[in-house]
Chain A
Amino acid sequence: MDKKTVTTISYLSRLKIDEEKEEKITNDLENIIKFVDQLNDIDTSDIEPLTNPLEKTAKTRDDIVTADNLKKELLEIAPSSNEDYFLVPRVVE
Protein backbone atom coordinates (compact mmCIF):
# COMPACT_ATOMS: atom_id res chain seq x y z
CA MET A 1 0.00 0.00 0.00
CA ASP A 2 1.58 3.25 -1.11
CA LYS A 3 0.40 6.81 -1.55
CA LYS A 4 -0.37 6.23 -5.22
CA THR A 5 -2.65 3.28 -4.45
CA VAL A 6 -4.39 5.28 -1.74
CA THR A 7 -4.94 8.13 -4.19
CA THR A 8 -6.42 5.70 -6.72
CA ILE A 9 -8.80 3.98 -4.32
CA SER A 10 -9.77 7.33 -2.78
CA TYR A 11 -10.80 8.50 -6.22
CA LEU A 12 -12.69 5.24 -6.92
CA SER A 13 -14.49 5.83 -3.61
CA ARG A 14 -15.10 9.52 -4.39
CA LEU A 15 -13.37 10.49 -1.16
CA LYS A 16 -10.74 13.13 -0.60
CA ILE A 17 -8.20 12.35 2.10
CA ASP A 18 -6.92 15.35 4.06
CA GLU A 19 -3.18 15.73 3.67
CA GLU A 20 -2.50 15.56 7.39
CA LYS A 21 -4.40 12.26 7.63
CA GLU A 22 -2.86 10.67 4.53
CA GLU A 23 0.00 8.96 6.33
CA LYS A 24 -2.17 7.52 9.09
CA ILE A 25 -4.76 6.21 6.61
CA THR A 26 -2.06 4.67 4.39
CA ASN A 27 -0.62 2.96 7.48
CA ASP A 28 -4.00 1.72 8.67
CA LEU A 29 -4.89 0.33 5.27
CA GLU A 30 -1.51 -1.35 5.01
CA ASN A 31 -2.02 -3.02 8.40
CA ILE A 32 -5.55 -4.13 7.63
CA ILE A 33 -4.47 -5.64 4.32
CA LYS A 34 -1.57 -7.41 6.07
CA PHE A 35 -4.05 -8.72 8.63
CA VAL A 36 -6.43 -10.14 6.01
CA ASP A 37 -3.50 -11.54 4.01
CA GLN A 38 -3.48 -14.54 6.39
CA LEU A 39 -6.36 -15.87 4.30
CA ASN A 40 -3.81 -16.61 1.58
CA ASP A 41 -2.36 -19.40 3.69
CA ILE A 42 -5.59 -21.37 3.40
CA ASP A 43 -6.06 -23.91 0.65
CA THR A 44 -9.35 -23.06 -1.01
CA SER A 45 -8.91 -24.87 -4.31
CA ASP A 46 -12.25 -26.34 -5.45
CA ILE A 47 -14.17 -24.37 -2.82
CA GLU A 48 -17.14 -22.47 -4.24
CA PRO A 49 -17.34 -18.88 -2.96
CA LEU A 50 -20.23 -18.28 -0.53
CA THR A 51 -21.78 -14.95 -1.42
CA ASN A 52 -24.85 -15.17 0.78
CA PRO A 53 -25.68 -17.54 3.64
CA LEU A 54 -29.07 -18.43 2.17
CA GLU A 55 -27.76 -19.53 -1.22
CA LYS A 56 -31.24 -19.24 -2.62
CA THR A 57 -31.92 -17.46 -5.85
CA ALA A 58 -33.90 -14.32 -5.42
CA LYS A 59 -37.58 -14.89 -6.02
CA THR A 60 -39.42 -12.98 -8.67
CA ARG A 61 -42.85 -11.56 -8.13
CA ASP A 62 -45.58 -10.24 -10.37
CA ASP A 63 -44.73 -6.84 -11.73
CA ILE A 64 -47.63 -4.94 -10.23
CA VAL A 65 -47.54 -1.49 -8.70
CA THR A 66 -47.73 -1.77 -4.92
CA ALA A 67 -46.42 1.58 -3.73
CA ASP A 68 -47.98 4.99 -4.00
CA ASN A 69 -46.20 7.56 -6.08
CA LEU A 70 -43.98 9.35 -3.58
CA LYS A 71 -42.56 11.83 -6.08
CA LYS A 72 -43.55 14.90 -4.10
CA GLU A 73 -42.30 13.51 -0.77
CA LEU A 74 -39.03 12.34 -2.28
CA LEU A 75 -38.31 15.60 -4.07
CA GLU A 76 -39.09 17.51 -0.87
CA ILE A 77 -36.30 15.80 1.06
CA ALA A 78 -33.72 16.33 -1.67
CA PRO A 79 -31.01 18.95 -1.06
CA SER A 80 -32.07 20.73 -4.26
CA SER A 81 -35.00 20.07 -6.57
CA ASN A 82 -37.67 21.70 -8.67
CA GLU A 83 -41.16 20.29 -9.09
CA ASP A 84 -40.01 17.46 -11.36
CA TYR A 85 -36.31 16.85 -10.92
CA PHE A 86 -33.36 16.57 -8.55
CA LEU A 87 -31.04 19.49 -9.26
CA VAL A 88 -27.24 19.25 -9.50
CA PRO A 89 -24.55 21.57 -10.89
CA ARG A 90 -24.57 21.85 -14.67
CA VAL A 91 -23.04 18.78 -16.35
CA VAL A 92 -23.20 19.76 -20.04
CA GLU A 93 -22.04 23.23 -21.06
Chain B
Amino acid sequence: MTIRYKTIKEIKNMISHKEISNKELVQEVYKLINENSHLNAFITLNEDSSLKKAENFDNNPSDSSLAGIPIAQKDLFCTKNLRTTCGSKILDNFIPPYSATVIDNLEKAGCISIGKTNMDEFAMGSSNETSYFGNVHNPWGENLVPGGSSGGSASAIAAGIVPAASGTDTGGSIRQPASLCGITGLKPTYGRVSRWGMIAFASSLDQAGPMARTAEDCALLLNEMCSHDIKDTTSLDENIPNFEDDLNQSLKGKKIGVVKDLDLASLDNNVVEVYENSLKEFVSLGAELVDISLPNLSLSVPTYYVVAPAECSSNLSRFDGVKFGRRSQNPKDLEELYIQTRSEGFGDEVKRRILIGSYVLSAGYYDAYYKKAQQVRRLIKKDFDEAFSDVDVIMTPTTRGAAFEMGSKGSDPIQMYLEDLFTISANLAGLPAMSLPNGNIDNKPIGLQIIGNFLDESSILNFAHMYQTKTNWHMLTPEGVTK
Protein backbone atom coordinates (compact mmCIF):
# COMPACT_ATOMS: atom_id res chain seq x y z
CA MET B 1 0.00 0.00 0.00
CA THR B 2 1.45 3.36 -0.94
CA ILE B 3 0.43 6.83 0.15
CA ARG B 4 1.83 8.42 -3.01
CA TYR B 5 -0.61 10.93 -4.57
CA LYS B 6 -3.20 10.16 -1.88
CA THR B 7 -5.43 12.83 -0.35
CA ILE B 8 -5.75 13.44 3.38
CA LYS B 9 -9.16 11.81 3.33
CA GLU B 10 -7.76 8.68 1.66
CA ILE B 11 -4.81 8.48 4.07
CA LYS B 12 -7.16 8.83 7.04
CA ASN B 13 -9.11 5.84 5.70
CA MET B 14 -5.93 3.83 5.26
CA ILE B 15 -4.94 4.53 8.86
CA SER B 16 -8.35 3.74 10.30
CA HIS B 17 -8.59 0.50 8.29
CA LYS B 18 -5.09 -0.42 9.47
CA GLU B 19 -3.84 -0.69 5.89
CA ILE B 20 -0.76 1.21 7.01
CA SER B 21 0.69 2.08 10.40
CA ASN B 22 1.48 5.67 11.28
CA LYS B 23 5.16 4.81 11.39
CA GLU B 24 5.14 3.15 7.97
CA LEU B 25 3.33 6.19 6.61
CA VAL B 26 5.97 8.60 7.85
CA GLN B 27 8.78 6.29 6.73
CA GLU B 28 7.31 6.27 3.23
CA VAL B 29 7.14 10.07 3.18
CA TYR B 30 10.89 10.30 3.91
CA LYS B 31 11.60 7.64 1.32
CA LEU B 32 9.65 9.67 -1.25
CA ILE B 33 11.49 12.83 -0.24
CA ASN B 34 14.82 11.07 -0.81
CA GLU B 35 13.76 9.59 -4.14
CA ASN B 36 12.64 13.04 -5.28
CA SER B 37 15.50 15.05 -3.84
CA HIS B 38 16.15 16.57 -7.30
CA LEU B 39 12.98 18.64 -6.77
CA ASN B 40 14.75 20.48 -3.93
CA ALA B 41 11.33 21.00 -2.34
CA PHE B 42 12.57 20.84 1.25
CA ILE B 43 15.09 22.98 3.11
CA THR B 44 15.00 21.23 6.49
CA LEU B 45 13.61 17.83 7.49
CA ASN B 46 12.11 16.90 10.84
CA GLU B 47 12.63 13.14 10.69
CA ASP B 48 13.39 12.00 14.24
CA SER B 49 10.63 13.95 15.86
CA SER B 50 8.13 12.94 13.14
CA LEU B 51 8.90 9.24 13.54
CA LYS B 52 8.51 9.51 17.31
CA LYS B 53 5.18 11.23 16.90
CA ALA B 54 4.03 8.56 14.46
CA GLU B 55 5.02 5.73 16.83
CA ASN B 56 3.07 7.50 19.51
CA PHE B 57 -0.04 7.50 17.31
CA ASP B 58 0.45 3.78 16.70
CA ASN B 59 0.57 3.13 20.44
CA ASN B 60 -2.21 5.58 21.32
CA PRO B 61 -4.56 5.98 18.35
CA SER B 62 -6.24 9.37 18.19
CA ASP B 63 -9.42 10.51 16.50
CA SER B 64 -8.42 14.16 16.07
CA SER B 65 -9.03 15.45 12.57
CA LEU B 66 -5.42 15.38 11.31
CA ALA B 67 -4.05 12.59 13.51
CA GLY B 68 -0.89 11.24 11.93
CA ILE B 69 -1.30 13.19 8.68
CA PRO B 70 2.09 14.25 7.27
CA ILE B 71 2.09 17.93 6.33
CA ALA B 72 4.95 19.96 4.88
CA GLN B 73 5.27 23.45 6.37
CA LYS B 74 6.42 26.43 4.37
CA ASP B 75 9.72 27.65 5.76
CA LEU B 76 8.18 31.03 6.49
CA PHE B 77 6.38 29.79 9.61
CA CYS B 78 8.38 29.77 12.81
CA THR B 79 8.63 26.23 14.13
CA LYS B 80 9.86 25.72 17.68
CA ASN B 81 13.31 24.11 17.79
CA LEU B 82 13.24 23.50 14.01
CA ARG B 83 15.32 25.69 11.70
CA THR B 84 13.30 28.40 9.92
CA THR B 85 15.12 30.18 7.10
CA CYS B 86 12.44 31.92 5.01
CA GLY B 87 14.60 30.90 2.05
CA SER B 88 17.27 33.42 3.08
CA LYS B 89 20.95 33.30 3.92
CA ILE B 90 20.34 35.84 6.68
CA LEU B 91 18.27 33.25 8.59
CA ASP B 92 20.18 30.11 7.64
CA ASN B 93 21.02 29.43 11.30
CA PHE B 94 17.75 30.63 12.87
CA ILE B 95 16.06 28.17 15.25
CA PRO B 96 12.93 29.82 16.64
CA PRO B 97 12.09 29.39 20.32
CA TYR B 98 8.36 29.36 19.50
CA SER B 99 5.93 28.18 16.82
CA ALA B 100 3.54 30.18 14.68
CA THR B 101 -0.12 29.97 15.72
CA VAL B 102 -0.93 28.19 12.42
CA ILE B 103 1.66 25.51 13.18
CA ASP B 104 0.38 25.10 16.75
CA ASN B 105 -3.20 24.82 15.48
CA LEU B 106 -2.34 22.18 12.87
CA GLU B 107 -0.20 20.20 15.31
CA LYS B 108 -2.92 20.32 17.97
CA ALA B 109 -5.17 18.67 15.37
CA GLY B 110 -2.59 15.87 15.18
CA CYS B 111 -0.64 16.67 12.01
CA ILE B 112 2.99 15.64 11.71
CA SER B 113 5.19 18.49 10.47
CA ILE B 114 7.43 16.47 8.15
CA GLY B 115 9.78 19.30 7.20
CA LYS B 116 10.12 22.87 5.99
CA THR B 117 9.56 23.62 2.34
CA ASN B 118 11.72 25.68 0.03
CA MET B 119 10.41 29.07 -1.08
CA ASP B 120 11.39 32.31 -2.76
CA GLU B 121 13.52 34.36 -0.37
CA PHE B 122 11.17 36.10 2.10
CA ALA B 123 8.31 35.06 -0.24
CA MET B 124 9.47 37.56 -2.86
CA GLY B 125 9.20 35.80 -6.19
CA SER B 126 6.87 33.92 -8.51
CA SER B 127 9.13 31.11 -9.68
CA ASN B 128 11.09 29.90 -6.65
CA GLU B 129 14.28 31.09 -8.33
CA THR B 130 15.17 33.59 -5.57
CA SER B 131 15.72 31.05 -2.77
CA TYR B 132 19.17 31.03 -1.17
CA PHE B 133 18.76 27.25 -1.05
CA GLY B 134 18.42 26.86 -4.82
CA ASN B 135 15.58 26.54 -7.30
CA VAL B 136 12.68 24.20 -6.68
CA HIS B 137 11.76 22.02 -9.67
CA ASN B 138 8.26 21.38 -10.89
CA PRO B 139 7.59 17.61 -11.05
CA TRP B 140 5.63 18.15 -14.29
CA GLY B 141 8.72 18.67 -16.40
CA GLU B 142 12.44 19.15 -16.44
CA ASN B 143 13.59 22.73 -15.90
CA LEU B 144 10.06 23.98 -15.25
CA VAL B 145 9.51 26.38 -12.35
CA PRO B 146 6.93 25.35 -9.74
CA GLY B 147 5.81 28.97 -9.32
CA GLY B 148 6.30 30.87 -6.12
CA SER B 149 6.68 31.80 -3.52
CA SER B 150 5.20 28.62 -1.98
CA GLY B 151 6.99 26.57 -4.66
CA GLY B 152 8.38 23.84 -2.39
CA SER B 153 4.95 23.20 -0.84
CA ALA B 154 3.29 22.99 -4.27
CA SER B 155 6.02 20.79 -5.75
CA ALA B 156 5.95 18.34 -2.81
CA ILE B 157 2.18 17.88 -3.15
CA ALA B 158 2.27 17.65 -6.95
CA ALA B 159 4.96 14.94 -6.70
CA GLY B 160 2.68 13.00 -4.34
CA ILE B 161 5.17 13.15 -1.46
CA VAL B 162 2.73 14.71 1.02
CA PRO B 163 -1.04 15.12 0.78
CA ALA B 164 -0.93 18.71 1.99
CA ALA B 165 1.22 21.66 2.94
CA SER B 166 0.93 25.09 4.45
CA GLY B 167 1.50 28.12 2.27
CA THR B 168 1.32 31.88 2.48
CA ASP B 169 0.01 34.33 -0.09
CA THR B 170 0.88 38.03 -0.31
CA GLY B 171 0.17 38.54 -4.02
CA GLY B 172 -0.51 35.02 -5.29
CA SER B 173 2.09 32.88 -3.52
CA ILE B 174 -0.37 30.04 -2.81
CA ARG B 175 -2.53 30.28 -5.94
CA GLN B 176 0.12 30.79 -8.64
CA PRO B 177 2.24 27.74 -7.65
CA ALA B 178 -0.99 25.75 -7.15
CA SER B 179 -1.89 26.58 -10.75
CA LEU B 180 1.55 25.75 -12.13
CA CYS B 181 1.81 22.47 -10.20
CA GLY B 182 -1.78 21.26 -10.70
CA ILE B 183 -2.91 21.31 -7.08
CA THR B 184 -5.59 23.10 -5.04
CA GLY B 185 -4.70 26.04 -2.81
CA LEU B 186 -6.70 28.62 -0.89
CA LYS B 187 -5.80 32.09 0.35
CA PRO B 188 -8.35 32.88 3.07
CA THR B 189 -9.85 36.28 3.87
CA TYR B 190 -7.28 38.69 5.35
CA GLY B 191 -7.55 38.23 9.13
CA ARG B 192 -9.08 34.75 8.99
CA VAL B 193 -5.80 32.99 9.87
CA SER B 194 -3.42 34.34 12.49
CA ARG B 195 -0.20 35.89 11.19
CA TRP B 196 1.57 35.42 14.51
CA GLY B 197 4.85 33.59 13.95
CA MET B 198 4.73 34.08 10.19
CA ILE B 199 7.81 35.97 9.06
CA ALA B 200 6.28 39.22 7.81
CA PHE B 201 6.70 40.43 4.23
CA ALA B 202 3.81 42.87 3.63
CA SER B 203 1.63 42.90 6.72
CA SER B 204 -1.56 44.29 5.16
CA LEU B 205 -1.47 41.61 2.44
CA ASP B 206 0.08 38.45 3.98
CA GLN B 207 -2.24 35.55 4.70
CA ALA B 208 -1.58 31.86 5.38
CA GLY B 209 -3.64 29.09 3.84
CA PRO B 210 -3.90 25.43 2.92
CA MET B 211 -2.49 23.67 -0.17
CA ALA B 212 -3.66 20.15 -1.00
CA ARG B 213 -4.93 17.91 -3.79
CA THR B 214 -8.63 18.68 -3.33
CA ALA B 215 -10.99 21.41 -2.16
CA GLU B 216 -12.35 18.93 0.37
CA ASP B 217 -8.91 18.60 2.00
CA CYS B 218 -8.45 22.37 1.93
CA ALA B 219 -11.73 22.74 3.86
CA LEU B 220 -10.54 20.26 6.48
CA LEU B 221 -7.19 22.05 6.82
CA LEU B 222 -8.75 25.51 6.98
CA ASN B 223 -11.00 24.35 9.82
CA GLU B 224 -7.87 23.66 11.84
CA MET B 225 -5.75 26.62 10.71
CA CYS B 226 -8.30 29.31 11.67
CA SER B 227 -8.61 30.72 15.14
CA HIS B 228 -9.09 34.09 16.73
CA ASP B 229 -5.64 34.95 18.04
CA ILE B 230 -5.12 37.76 20.51
CA LYS B 231 -1.43 37.77 19.56
CA ASP B 232 -2.30 39.15 16.09
CA THR B 233 -4.21 42.44 16.22
CA THR B 234 -5.57 41.85 12.70
CA SER B 235 -6.89 38.39 13.57
CA LEU B 236 -10.67 38.56 13.09
CA ASP B 237 -12.93 37.77 16.00
CA GLU B 238 -15.68 36.43 13.73
CA ASN B 239 -17.67 33.24 13.67
CA ILE B 240 -15.61 30.46 12.06
CA PRO B 241 -17.97 28.12 10.20
CA ASN B 242 -17.27 24.45 9.65
CA PHE B 243 -15.87 24.75 6.13
CA GLU B 244 -16.80 21.15 5.33
CA ASP B 245 -20.52 21.78 5.92
CA ASP B 246 -21.40 23.47 2.63
CA LEU B 247 -19.14 21.52 0.27
CA ASN B 248 -22.01 19.62 -1.35
CA GLN B 249 -24.55 22.45 -1.70
CA SER B 250 -26.18 22.55 -5.11
CA LEU B 251 -24.90 25.32 -7.38
CA LYS B 252 -28.34 25.73 -8.91
CA GLY B 253 -29.16 29.43 -9.28
CA LYS B 254 -25.81 30.55 -7.85
CA LYS B 255 -24.10 33.35 -9.70
CA ILE B 256 -20.57 33.48 -11.07
CA GLY B 257 -19.14 36.89 -11.91
CA VAL B 258 -17.22 36.87 -15.18
CA VAL B 259 -14.93 39.87 -15.43
CA LYS B 260 -15.54 41.60 -18.74
CA ASP B 261 -12.51 43.89 -18.33
CA LEU B 262 -10.08 40.93 -18.45
CA ASP B 263 -7.76 41.32 -21.38
CA LEU B 264 -8.10 37.73 -22.55
CA ALA B 265 -6.60 38.64 -25.91
CA SER B 266 -3.19 38.96 -24.24
CA LEU B 267 -3.37 35.33 -23.10
CA ASP B 268 -2.42 32.13 -24.81
CA ASN B 269 -5.45 30.78 -26.75
CA ASN B 270 -5.23 27.53 -24.84
CA VAL B 271 -5.56 29.34 -21.52
CA VAL B 272 -8.71 31.07 -22.72
CA GLU B 273 -10.15 27.79 -23.99
CA VAL B 274 -9.47 26.00 -20.69
CA TYR B 275 -11.03 28.90 -18.78
CA GLU B 276 -14.15 29.02 -20.93
CA ASN B 277 -14.61 25.25 -20.73
CA SER B 278 -14.64 25.48 -16.93
CA LEU B 279 -17.29 28.19 -17.02
CA LYS B 280 -19.43 25.87 -19.19
CA GLU B 281 -18.91 23.08 -16.67
CA PHE B 282 -20.24 25.33 -13.89
CA VAL B 283 -23.24 26.25 -16.03
CA SER B 284 -23.98 22.55 -16.45
CA LEU B 285 -23.84 22.29 -12.64
CA GLY B 286 -26.66 24.85 -12.48
CA ALA B 287 -24.74 28.09 -11.93
CA GLU B 288 -25.45 31.28 -13.88
CA LEU B 289 -22.82 33.52 -15.48
CA VAL B 290 -23.12 37.24 -14.84
CA ASP B 291 -20.95 39.86 -16.54
CA ILE B 292 -19.29 42.10 -13.98
CA SER B 293 -16.90 44.99 -14.25
CA LEU B 294 -13.70 45.52 -12.27
CA PRO B 295 -12.51 48.66 -14.09
CA ASN B 296 -9.41 49.19 -11.93
CA LEU B 297 -8.17 45.60 -12.08
CA SER B 298 -5.26 46.45 -14.39
CA LEU B 299 -3.94 48.83 -11.72
CA SER B 300 -3.51 46.08 -9.16
CA VAL B 301 0.06 45.15 -10.15
CA PRO B 302 1.46 48.74 -10.02
CA THR B 303 -0.49 49.37 -6.79
CA TYR B 304 0.96 46.21 -5.28
CA TYR B 305 4.51 47.16 -6.30
CA VAL B 306 4.25 50.29 -4.17
CA VAL B 307 2.37 48.89 -1.16
CA ALA B 308 4.24 45.58 -0.84
CA PRO B 309 7.81 46.98 -1.09
CA ALA B 310 6.90 49.80 1.31
CA GLU B 311 5.71 47.32 3.93
CA CYS B 312 8.61 44.98 3.20
CA SER B 313 11.22 47.68 3.71
CA SER B 314 9.79 48.36 7.18
CA ASN B 315 9.32 44.71 8.11
CA LEU B 316 12.77 43.62 6.98
CA SER B 317 14.49 46.33 8.99
CA ARG B 318 14.41 43.85 11.88
CA PHE B 319 17.11 41.76 10.20
CA ASP B 320 20.17 43.59 11.47
CA GLY B 321 22.41 40.84 12.81
CA VAL B 322 21.92 41.81 16.46
CA LYS B 323 19.34 39.55 18.08
CA PHE B 324 19.05 36.50 15.80
CA GLY B 325 20.09 35.18 12.44
CA ARG B 326 23.40 35.61 10.68
CA ARG B 327 25.86 38.40 11.55
CA SER B 328 28.71 39.52 9.33
CA GLN B 329 32.22 38.86 10.62
CA ASN B 330 34.45 41.55 12.14
CA PRO B 331 32.50 44.76 11.47
CA LYS B 332 34.46 47.81 12.58
CA ASP B 333 31.46 49.47 14.22
CA LEU B 334 27.71 49.05 14.74
CA GLU B 335 26.78 50.83 11.51
CA GLU B 336 29.01 48.52 9.50
CA LEU B 337 27.54 45.54 11.35
CA TYR B 338 24.06 46.46 10.10
CA ILE B 339 25.13 47.26 6.54
CA GLN B 340 27.42 44.26 6.04
CA THR B 341 25.01 41.81 7.66
CA ARG B 342 22.13 42.93 5.44
CA SER B 343 24.20 43.24 2.27
CA GLU B 344 25.65 39.74 2.70
CA GLY B 345 22.44 38.19 3.96
CA PHE B 346 19.82 39.34 1.44
CA GLY B 347 19.60 38.29 -2.21
CA ASP B 348 19.10 40.64 -5.17
CA GLU B 349 15.29 40.53 -5.38
CA VAL B 350 14.89 41.22 -1.66
CA LYS B 351 17.33 44.14 -1.91
CA ARG B 352 15.49 45.51 -4.93
CA ARG B 353 12.19 45.51 -3.04
CA ILE B 354 13.66 47.05 0.10
CA LEU B 355 15.17 49.84 -2.03
CA ILE B 356 11.86 50.50 -3.83
CA GLY B 357 10.13 50.57 -0.45
CA SER B 358 12.62 53.04 0.99
CA TYR B 359 12.20 55.20 -2.11
CA VAL B 360 8.38 55.35 -2.07
CA LEU B 361 8.33 56.02 1.66
CA SER B 362 11.05 58.67 1.65
CA ALA B 363 10.33 62.34 2.27
CA GLY B 364 9.03 64.05 -0.84
CA TYR B 365 7.79 60.86 -2.49
CA TYR B 366 5.43 59.51 0.16
CA ASP B 367 2.29 61.27 -1.16
CA ALA B 368 3.13 60.69 -4.80
CA TYR B 369 3.60 56.94 -4.41
CA TYR B 370 2.54 55.40 -1.12
CA LYS B 371 -0.54 57.51 -0.46
CA LYS B 372 -1.53 57.38 -4.11
CA ALA B 373 -1.26 53.59 -4.20
CA GLN B 374 -3.40 53.29 -1.09
CA GLN B 375 -6.05 55.48 -2.70
CA VAL B 376 -6.06 53.30 -5.82
CA ARG B 377 -6.20 50.29 -3.49
CA ARG B 378 -9.54 51.61 -2.19
CA LEU B 379 -10.84 51.97 -5.76
CA ILE B 380 -9.93 48.34 -6.43
CA LYS B 381 -11.70 47.23 -3.27
CA LYS B 382 -14.79 49.28 -4.13
CA ASP B 383 -15.01 47.55 -7.52
CA PHE B 384 -15.16 44.20 -5.73
CA ASP B 385 -17.73 45.45 -3.18
CA GLU B 386 -20.01 46.47 -6.04
CA ALA B 387 -19.46 43.24 -7.97
CA PHE B 388 -20.29 41.09 -4.96
CA SER B 389 -23.67 42.75 -4.54
CA ASP B 390 -24.68 40.75 -7.64
CA VAL B 391 -22.70 37.50 -7.57
CA ASP B 392 -21.61 34.68 -5.23
CA VAL B 393 -18.09 34.22 -6.59
CA ILE B 394 -15.87 35.67 -9.32
CA MET B 395 -13.83 33.50 -11.67
CA THR B 396 -10.67 34.24 -13.68
CA PRO B 397 -7.74 32.17 -14.91
CA THR B 398 -5.18 31.97 -12.05
CA THR B 399 -2.17 32.54 -14.28
CA ARG B 400 -1.42 33.82 -17.77
CA GLY B 401 -0.05 30.45 -18.81
CA ALA B 402 1.23 27.09 -17.59
CA ALA B 403 4.63 26.56 -15.91
CA PHE B 404 7.51 28.32 -17.68
CA GLU B 405 11.16 27.34 -17.94
CA MET B 406 13.70 28.40 -15.36
CA GLY B 407 15.48 31.57 -16.37
CA SER B 408 12.97 32.29 -19.14
CA LYS B 409 11.65 35.52 -17.63
CA GLY B 410 15.07 37.02 -18.19
CA SER B 411 16.47 39.68 -15.94
CA ASP B 412 13.60 42.17 -16.21
CA PRO B 413 11.82 42.05 -12.84
CA ILE B 414 8.58 43.51 -14.22
CA GLN B 415 8.04 40.47 -16.47
CA MET B 416 8.05 38.33 -13.34
CA TYR B 417 5.80 40.77 -11.45
CA LEU B 418 3.16 40.47 -14.18
CA GLU B 419 2.92 36.73 -13.43
CA ASP B 420 0.61 37.72 -10.57
CA LEU B 421 -1.71 39.85 -12.71
CA PHE B 422 -4.87 37.91 -11.80
CA THR B 423 -4.05 37.05 -8.20
CA ILE B 424 -2.86 40.32 -6.65
CA SER B 425 -6.23 42.10 -6.52
CA ALA B 426 -7.63 39.62 -3.96
CA ASN B 427 -4.77 40.49 -1.58
CA LEU B 428 -5.27 44.23 -2.05
CA ALA B 429 -9.00 43.85 -1.30
CA GLY B 430 -8.43 41.27 1.50
CA LEU B 431 -10.71 38.73 -0.19
CA PRO B 432 -10.47 34.92 -0.09
CA ALA B 433 -9.42 33.25 -3.36
CA MET B 434 -8.51 29.76 -4.51
CA SER B 435 -6.80 28.10 -7.44
CA LEU B 436 -7.81 24.63 -8.57
CA PRO B 437 -6.66 22.58 -11.55
CA ASN B 438 -8.97 23.01 -14.55
CA GLY B 439 -6.98 21.90 -17.56
CA ASN B 440 -3.77 20.84 -19.12
CA ILE B 441 -1.70 22.60 -21.77
CA ASP B 442 1.09 20.56 -23.44
CA ASN B 443 1.00 18.16 -20.50
CA LYS B 444 1.37 21.00 -18.01
CA PRO B 445 -1.42 21.79 -15.54
CA ILE B 446 -3.14 25.13 -15.20
CA GLY B 447 -5.59 26.53 -12.68
CA LEU B 448 -8.86 28.37 -12.34
CA GLN B 449 -9.15 31.15 -9.79
CA ILE B 450 -12.32 31.50 -7.71
CA ILE B 451 -12.53 34.73 -5.69
CA GLY B 452 -15.11 34.92 -2.88
CA ASN B 453 -16.73 37.70 -0.91
CA PHE B 454 -15.28 38.82 2.44
CA LEU B 455 -15.27 35.86 4.89
CA ASP B 456 -17.06 33.65 2.37
CA GLU B 457 -14.50 30.85 1.93
CA SER B 458 -17.43 28.43 2.16
CA SER B 459 -18.85 29.48 -1.23
CA ILE B 460 -15.44 29.12 -2.89
CA LEU B 461 -14.97 25.66 -1.40
CA ASN B 462 -18.51 24.68 -2.43
CA PHE B 463 -17.94 25.71 -6.07
CA ALA B 464 -14.51 24.05 -6.14
CA HIS B 465 -15.70 20.81 -4.55
CA MET B 466 -18.71 20.49 -6.89
CA TYR B 467 -16.37 21.04 -9.84
CA GLN B 468 -14.02 18.35 -8.52
CA THR B 469 -16.87 15.86 -8.16
CA LYS B 470 -17.53 16.28 -11.89
CA THR B 471 -14.04 16.63 -13.37
CA ASN B 472 -10.77 14.83 -12.78
CA TRP B 473 -8.16 17.54 -13.47
CA HIS B 474 -7.23 17.44 -9.77
CA MET B 475 -6.47 13.72 -10.04
CA LEU B 476 -3.94 14.17 -12.82
CA THR B 477 -0.35 13.61 -11.77
CA PRO B 478 2.90 13.89 -13.69
CA GLU B 479 2.57 10.12 -14.14
CA GLY B 480 -0.99 10.28 -15.50
CA VAL B 481 -4.28 9.71 -13.73
CA THR B 482 -3.59 7.66 -10.63
CA LYS B 483 -7.01 6.47 -9.69
Contact = CB atoms under 8 A, between A and B. Distances in A.
Contact of B339 (A14, A47, A53, A86): A14
Contacts, number: 165
Interface of A is mostly: loop
Contact of B376 (A5, A44, A54): A44
Given A9-B358, A50-B374, A15 B343 contact: yes
26 contacts: A9-B358, A14-B338, A25-B351, A32-B414, A35-B302, A35-B414, A36-B302, A36-B306, A36-B360, A36-B373, A39-B303, A39-B369, A49-B374, A50-B381, A52-B234, A52-B430, A53-B431, A54-B234, A58-B233, A74-B97, A77-B96, A78-B322, A78-B323, A78-B324, A79-B326, A91-B333
Given A14-B342, A15-B342, A28 B373 contact: no
Contacts of B412: 28, 31
Interface in B206-233: 230, 233
A63 B237 CA distance: 19
Interface in A42-93: 42, 44, 47-54, 58-59, 61, 70, 73-74, 77-80, 86, 88-91
Contact of B379 (A24, A32, A42, A88): A42
Interface residues of B, number: 74
Contacts of B191: 53-54
Interface in B295-314: 296, 299, 302-303, 305-306, 313
B346 A54 contact: no
Contacts of A12: 358, 362
Interface of B is mostly: helix
A56 B402 CA distance: 38
Interface string B429-445: 11100000000000000
B327 to A, nearest CB: 4
Contacts of B322: 78-79, 86, 88
